């Protein structure tokens, strides 16, 4: 069974930093591109970043470029999101999601999310 | 950047209704389009990929169509579990989402 479990959310001060983690199980982690997506309270979904499986190619949405850093540790089946210079606009539920090339590069599995509050 | 625009933002419908949601891309994205369903407090769930391919386990009343810049998600006969918010997503280069369509009880 594929599982993605996020952690690391919590309360951060404006201008502060937070590191999110996502641990994967049930599939060959290194074979998949992983993503972070967030959802502010009452708002829609916003894709933030991806990192490819073995080559580690990275891309970011403009809204977080220069402030957020994605990384992964295939030995630990984990993907991370280091967030810095946080503002109130970064408060959201943060999801990690698996991208599946066989599913047209759609996100076929998601974690339950971790909540980030900035205050 | 390619913008994804869904319509309507809210849709009121009854059980058994045929429901159609539209997603428009600001540039040609061929068939790189996915649809998701999200219930309150839950993670999104993949319904359709490559514009018209039904994800495994998703009921056949869901269908997707379109290519290029205009796409639709159709629910052939609305069921109680289908009252939710639906998102389209561009699935190449960057994974921009539409703003969402909430399907509510009429």
Q: How far apart are CA B27 and CA A119, in angstroms?
A: 38
Question: How does the average pLDDT of chain B come out, rounded?
Answer: 97
Place of tokens 């969402």: B100
Q: Is the peptide bond before B8 cis (omega within 30 degrees of 0)?
A: yes
Partner residue facing A104 (CB), from B50, B97, B99:
B50
Residue B92 predicted with pLDDT over 90:
no
- Interval B31-74: pLDDT, tens: 999 999 999 999 999 999 999 999 999 999 999 999 999 999 99
- Interval A58-112: pLDDT, tens: 999 999 999 999 999 999 999 999 999 999 999 999 999 999 999 999 999 999 9
Are A105 and B100 an interchain contact pair (Cβ–Cβ within 8 Å)?
no
Which residues of A are less than 8 Å from B101 in CB distance? none
Residue B12 predicted with pLDDT over 90:
yes
Tokens representing residue B77 in the block: 């006969």
- Helix, strand, coil percent values for chain A (each to nearest 5): 10, 55, 35
Instruction: Kindly report the nearest CA distance between residue A65 and chain B, in angstroms.
Output: 13
pLDDT of residue B93: 81
pLDDT of residue A40: 98
Question: How does the average pLDDT of chain A come out, rounded?
Answer: 97
Percent of chain A past pLDDT 70, that is, above it, reads 100
A8 contacts chain B (CB < 8 A): no
A62-74 exposure pattern, b = at least 16 Cβ within 10 A, e = fewer:
eebeeebbbebee
pLDDT of residue B1: 86
Q: How many residues does chain B have?
A: 106
A53 half-sphere exposure, CB direction, 13 A CA radius: 12
Are A46 and B95 an interchain contact pair (Cβ–Cβ within 8 Å)?
no
Instruction: Kindly report the nearest CA distance between residue B84 and chain A, in angstroms.
Output: 13
pLDDT of residue B94: 81
Q: How far apart are CA A19 and CA A93, in angstroms?
A: 14
For residue A75, give the 3-state DSSP assignment: helix
């Amino acid at each position: 069974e594929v599982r993605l479990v996020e952690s690391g959310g919590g309360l951060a001060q404006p201008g502060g930093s937070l590191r999110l983690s996502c641990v994967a199980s049930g599939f060959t982690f290194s074979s998949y591109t992983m993503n972070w997506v967030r959802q502010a309270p009452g708002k829609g979904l916003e894709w933030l970043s991806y990192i490819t499986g073995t080559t580690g190619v990275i891309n970011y949405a403009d809204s977080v470029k220069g402030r957020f850093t994605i990384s992964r540790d295939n030995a630990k089946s984990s993907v991370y999101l280091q967030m810095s210079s946080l503002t109130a606009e970064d408060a959201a539920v943060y999801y990690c999601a698996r991208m599946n090339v066989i599913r047209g590069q759609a996100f076929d599995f998601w974690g339950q999310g971790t909540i980030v509050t900035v205050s | 950047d390619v913008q994804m625009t869904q319509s309507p933002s809210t849709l009121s419908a009854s059980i058994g209704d045929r429901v159609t949601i539209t997603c428009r891309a600001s540039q040609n994205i061929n068939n790189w389009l996915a649809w998701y369903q999200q219930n309150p407090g839950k993670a999104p769930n993949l319904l359709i990929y490559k514009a018209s391919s039904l994800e495994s386990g998703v009921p056949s009343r869901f269908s997707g169509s379109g290519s290029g810049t205009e796409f639709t998600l159709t629910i052939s006969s609305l069921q109680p579990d289908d009252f939710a918010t639906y998102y389209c997503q561009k699935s190449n280069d960057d994974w921009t989402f539409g703003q969402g369509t909430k399907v509510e009880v009429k």
